[in-house]
Amino acid sequence: MSYVSEVLDKISKKYPEQAEFRQAVKEVLESLSPVIEANEEKYRKEAVLERIVEPERQIMFRVPWVDDNGQIQVNTGYRVQFNNAIGPYKGGLRFRDNVSLSIIKFLGFEQIFKNSLTGLPIGGGKGGSDFDPKGKSDREVMAFCQSFMTELYRHIGADVDVPAGDIGVGAREIGYMYGQYKRITKTYEGVLTGKGLSYGGSLVRTQATGYGLLYFTDEMLRSNGKDLKGKTVAISGAGNVAIYATEKATQLGAKVVTLSDSTGWIYDAEGIDLNAVKEIKEVKRARLSEYTNYRPNAVYHTEGNVWEIPCDVALPCATQNELNLDDAKKLVANGCIAVAEGANMPTTLDATKYLQENHVLFGPGKAANAGGVATSALEMSQNSERLSWTFEEVDKKLQDIMVNIFRKLDDAAKRYHMNGDYVVGANIAGFEKVVEAMIAQGL
């Protein structure tokens, strides 16, 4: 049995219930086979794979809080500190009802390689809770965030572990958590990123994941003799990543025609009106069904999904496993030329394979959506030097980082004679740096 198969087998037996985590590990390890085989003796001796698939530390805790009816509610909090070989643990917090240890471990595992690809000194971690801020009052969200931080604070620090946002965690939640951290520890430090601009946040962090996704996609297209001008783009999600992906895609001359949330999706043949979406989602925190009030010619659907709309470029920006094999077949049949993942692991393994076999350019999330965490690392730098950079400065650094990430994937794929396979390229380029650091630092 190959080393990769042995480790995958162990993971399956040890964590049979962790489907998302096993999926993420399988995707990474199988694509790393050429590198593992070329270094098999050394890697086996160092137990590199066994070490990299096991989090350094995982913390689970009770989060009690009081709702607006005076009733005590209890949620589960998580922080998985996966790997700090190249820097302090770094990665978002997800607040969503389906959050489980498996989901946090898959996200933390992906984060190791993503953070490595940015070229910045950040290790991999992720956390969150099965609490969903949707439909809760501001006071309830604050009560939850304060209780969550009352335990989390003892495990994090500006040079230890620096959480940020993810699904369900935006500026509001970060603000409440930052306030509680400061109050408990008496320290004003860059322990969270995605902070408000008035208290240490970085310009461009709000836009960074969506903008970065488009900088990456543009580079991937250009390197294949194409570009975004005049292209029709299908985007899923209507949150932080989807909104700023839509904004940048439009600025780069493409037309975005779809968005979705967990209750339905919209098709606007004339191009999404982003001001309407921002008002619905960022101001009112409402459902996307309201969009047709602003744009009567748009269509709102509750059946099917955005991937049935013909597009040149598809950008899944909502959640894991939202683009499956049937969706991939529709995209190919409709002439889609590129898919780039704004979300983490939105494309199922069989769908990814089908897209690649049908010559659709495929940008994996750990590369394509790395602009968010990269800009978080820039926020950490600004906090450390107690300075704030201009929008143009941060945006320029973000563009350079995304272009460099694409070059790293492209080079790594070429080195192993898998030209154009950016999945393999991302995994190899991300893995090599972390493993070198792990081996250098001993057990």
B/e letters for 221-248, b = 16+ CB within 10 Å, e = fewer, are beeeebebeebbbbbbbbbbbbbbbbbb
* CA separation for the pair 416, 425 (Å, rounded): 9
Q: Which does 91 bind (CB under 5 to 8 A by kind): ligand NDP, ligand 2IT, none?
A: ligand 2IT
Nearest distance from C-beta of residue 49 to ligand 2IT, angstroms: 23
Output the six-digit token pair for 354: 């089908």
Q: How far is the CB of 230 from ligand 2IT (least distance, A)?
A: 30
Q: Considering Cα of 17, then 321, then 99, then 109, what sign does the dihedral take?
A: positive
For 441, counting Cβ atoms within 10 Å of its Cβ (0-12 exposed, 13-18 middle, 19+ buried), the class is: exposed
CB of 52 to ligand 2IT, least distance (A): 18
Task: Choose, from 90, 126, 195, 231, the residue flagged as catalytic.
Answer: 126
Beta bridge partners of 393: none
For 295, the token pair is: 């744009």
Q: How many DSSP H helices and E strands does the chain contain?
A: 18, 12
- In this complex, which beta carbon is closest to ligand NDP, that of residue 343 or of residue 380? 343
Q: Name the residue nearer to ligand 2IT (CB basis): 164 or 313.
A: 164
CB of 181 to ligand NDP, least distance (A): 19
Nearer to ligand NDP, 170 or 201 (CB): 170
The option from ligand 2IT, ligand NDP, none interacting with 90 (CB < 5 to 8 A, set by class) reads ligand 2IT
Q: Residue 217 CB, nearest distance to ligand 2IT (Å)?
A: 17
| 110/308 with CB nearer ligand 2IT | 110
Q: Which does 193 bind (CB under 5 to 8 A by kind): ligand 2IT, ligand NDP, none?
A: ligand 2IT
- Residue number of the CB closest to ligand NDP reads 239
Instruction: Report the alpha-carbon distance of residue 104 to residue 127 in Å, rounded.
Output: 6
Q: Are strands 264-267 and 255-261 parallel, antiparallel or unpaired?
A: antiparallel
**Distance between CA atoms of 146 and 60, rounded to whole angstroms?**
16
Binding site for ligand 2IT (CB under 6 A): 90-92, 114, 164, 166, 193, 344, 372-373, 376
Neighbour-count burial of 295, counting CB atoms closer than 10 A to its CB (0-12 exposed, 13-18 middle, 19+ buried): middle
Whether 114 sits among the annotated catalytic residues: the reply is no
Q: Which residue is nearest to ligand 2IT (CB)?
A: 92
Q: Which residues sit at the interface with ligand NDP, rule CB under 6 A?
A: 134, 165-168, 170, 209, 237-242, 261-263, 317-319, 342-344, 369, 372
What is the C-alpha end-to-end distance of the chain, expressed in Å?
Answer: 26
User: Which of ligand NDP, ligand 2IT, none is residue 240 near (CB under 5 to 8 Å by kind)?
Assistant: ligand NDP
Give the position of tokens 């996704």.
213
Give 91 or 425: the residue with its C-beta nearer to ligand 2IT. Answer: 91
- Give me the active site residues, please: 126
